[in-house]
Amino acid sequence: MEYGSIEREIRVDASPEVVYEVISTPEHLREWWPDEAELKPVPGATGVISFGDRSTPDANVVALTVIEADPPRRFSFRWVYDEGEAATPDNSLLVTFELVPSGAGTLLRFTETGFREKGWEAAVLEEQYREHVTGWDYFLPRLVTYVARLVSP
C-alpha cells in the first residue's frame, strides 16, 4: 500500500464562500473537527487545535501553520510537527482544501500529504497514515452535515 497522500472529494450543498468560512475559521472548525481551535486564516499564521479537554493530560493539542488562504478557493495548513519547530515540507503534513463551484454547491477536494517526507519508520508511517484516514473519514462527513444545518432555513 502507498502511504503518500489521502485524497477525498465531497459535495457540499453551499457556496464556496460559505464552505471556505467553515474550513478556515475557529468558530466553524470546532463545530465539525477539533474540540477547540485558535488560528487566524492568513498565510504564515500559527495556531493550535485540540481534541479532548485541554485541562486534562490526555488532550491532544496540535500546532498548525497556515500556508495558503485564498478565499473562496483554497485553504491549506501544515500540522503534525514538533513543538518549537517551524513547519516545513520535511517535518509536517500538508492539508489542502480546494473549493470548486459546482451548480448551487461546492466540490471540496481534500488532500493530506507529507507522510513519507516525515521520515517515520515503516510501522509508524503505516499507523499514522491509517489514523489520519480514519480521522478524515469521520470528520469530513461531519463538515457536510454541519454546513447543511448552517444553511438550512
- What are the residue ranges spanned by the domains of the chain? 5-151
pLDDT for 152: 87
**Phi, psi at residue 83, to the nearest 5°?**
-60, 140
**Cβ neighbour number for residue 75 with a 10 Å cutoff:** 23
All residues at 6 or more sequence positions from 85 whose CB lies less than 8 Å from its CB, including other chains: 91
Tell me the C-alpha distance between 102 and 138, whole Å.
23
Task: Flag whether the pTM goes above 0.85.
Answer: yes
| Partners of 108 in beta bridges | 10, 99
pLDDT for 1: 63
CATH number of 5-151: 3.30.530.20
pLDDT for 74: 98
Distance, C-alpha 102 to centroid of its chain: 21
Spell out, as residue ranges, where the chain has pLDDT lower than 70: 1
Tell me the C-alpha distance between 149 and 109, whole Å.
21
